[in-house]
Amino acid sequence: MNEIEKNIDKRSHQKRKSTSFLSDVLTLVGGTTFAQILTILSAPILTRLYGPEDFGVWSLFISITSIISVIACMRYDYCIVLPESDEDAVNLLGLSFLAVLIISSLTLPIIWCFKQPIVSILNSPQIGNYLWLTSPFVFINGMFLALNQWNSRTKKFKRLSFSRISSSISTIATQIGLGLERNYSKSGQIIGSIVGLFIATLVLGGQIWRDDKILIRKNLSWKKIYEVLGRYRKFPLIDSWSALMNTISWQLPTFLLAAFFAPTVVGFYSLGFRLLQLPMSFIGSSISQVFFQRAAKARLEGNLDSLVESTFRMLVIIGMFPMLTLTIVGSDVFIVIFGKAWAEAGVYAQILSLWAFIWFISSPLSTIYVVMEKQQFGFLYNFLNLATRLLSLTIGGLLGSARIALVLFSISGIIVYGYLCLKMMYYSGIAISRTLEIVFTNALLFIPAGIVLIVFKVTGINQSLFVFCSFMAICIYYIYILKTDVQANKIMTSFGINKWVKNR
């Protein structure tokens, strides 16, 4: 009888944990969804205020600052969720702030010394006018990253949702406002990004200080900072290089497309990739944010495999159908929404969509190697990712074709991220056969819709009608999933959407 009671208690505990995980994800997704919807809705306006070259210069600036920002905290920010002791976590937060101050202070003189080589290599004289803004951007971004991880530890995900909404509104408002003003039409996107990031950091930091200042003041000390600096030395010594390589590999298309072609091509890529990434990243990053904290705890409790499998399945269900649809209708979507001038951006989105799906399902799970303290694998994987991207983009550049460069980039990404996904599942104790079963089962659902869309494409149906039919196919798919899938139904129950579906 006692054994039965223990099993019941264990199942109840796992159910509560699953519900808690889902609740935290939905809290983040809710706020982030609103923020990203604003970004998507603003895109047709921004493409009429800023040309492809302006998008290209903005993308180059974001790429440069992203590379520096990823090591702004020397990766000590990633350690904040790991220790059991709040005292250690507080001092890791303080150590992260100290690292940000040092790195951002060094950024300006270094960037300024290499200003001319940067301008020359990137084939963009305009970017030189904005390089001085890298230092404040890195400082603000580093502070936000550290606060973000502290917020994950304390599980106050509503605060993060609010900060993201504030950031999105302020970014878009600034970019549109400056875009309408001729004197700032070239710098509006860059300034808007800085303003949005500053508002997000201010909002999140203010709420954390209001709620946790007693805990922070009580535990912060120079002696303890020195102790955690040594305890987590693997992160700056190994993981920082891994993260740096990963970020550089992400920014390679921007840099190499600029070097081989022109900022205009970078602008097409920037818009295509941005709108391709947004729907995927707003869910993926929210899941990743919660998953990292939950995975660290699940490993200690011995149930990491169930957490990983349910998370992976949720990612496949959410991402596969719309991404496969985009491989067929991508260019038509961009022409209908942004006009024929941006048709090339739609082609780029089509090329990259399948890779984006593989990235989407593997990226949130990539934190498993950090949880398992296998930083060496992270280093080797990111080196492989960087090398294959560099090779594929260089070959395309030497052949003089941006499309070939992106096709090779996409193929290499599918292979490398596919390997990452399988490896993370293996670390979690999930068989490769089970992983492939989840993927192929969901792929079968796309076949009928895919055949119909291809027929429409070949017969030359009106573009607006074609895009509308594609959108309806995606809606029908999600309604079907809500009616037949228990896990998806739980998600929509939290939003109250399942009641609407049942009435259809």
Q: How many angstroms separate the Cα of 355 from the Cα of each of 61, 171, 253, 351, 414?
A: 24, 28, 14, 8, 5
Please tell me the total number of residues recorded for the chain in this structure.
504
133: left (phi over 0), alpha (psi -120 to 50) or beta: alpha
* 460 φ/ψ angles, rounded to the nearest 5 degrees: 75, 40
In 3D space, the residue among 136, 139, 151, 137 whose CA is nearest the CA of residue 203 turns out to be 151
CB atoms within 10 A of CB 2: 6
Q: Cβ distance 89 to 150 under 8 Å?
A: yes
pLDDT at 160: 74
Helix axes 432-444, 402-427, angle to 10 degrees: 130
Cβ atoms of 165 and 93 within 8 Å: the answer is: no
Cβ atoms of 342 and 271 within 8 Å: the answer is: yes
Map tokens 């084939």 to a residue.
123
According to the model, what pLDDT value does residue 187 have?
Answer: 83
Torsion sign, CA atoms 438, 351, 58, 76: positive
Both structure tokens of 105: 């202070």
Q: What is the pLDDT of residue 230?
A: 87
DSSP 261: T
The alpha helices in 50-114, defined as continuous H runs, are 52-69, 86-113
pTM: 0.76
pLDDT value at residue 184: 66
Name which of 125, 70, 133 is nearest 258 in CA terms: 125
Regions in the chain scoring below 50 on pLDDT: 1-18, 492, 494-504
Alpha helix stretches (DSSP H) within 339-431: 343-362, 368-371, 375-398, 402-427
| 497 C-beta neighbours (distance < 10 Å), count | 15
DSSP of 274-342, one letter per residue? HHHHHHHHHHHHHHHHHHHHHHHHHHHHT-HHHHHHHHHHHHHHHHHHHHHHHHHHHHHHHHHHH-GGG
Q: pLDDT tens-digit profile of 460-482?
A: 888 899 999 999 999 998 888 88
Other beta carbons within 10 Å of 492: 18
CA distance 75 to 234: 9
Do 378 and 242 meet the contact criterion of CB atoms below 8 Å apart?
Answer: yes
Cα–Cα distance for residue pair 256/498, rounded to 1 Å = 46
Residues with Cβ within 8 Å of 221's Cβ and at least 6 positions away in sequence, in order, are 91
Q: Phi and psi (nearest 5°) for 40?
A: -65, -40
pLDDT for residue 101? 95
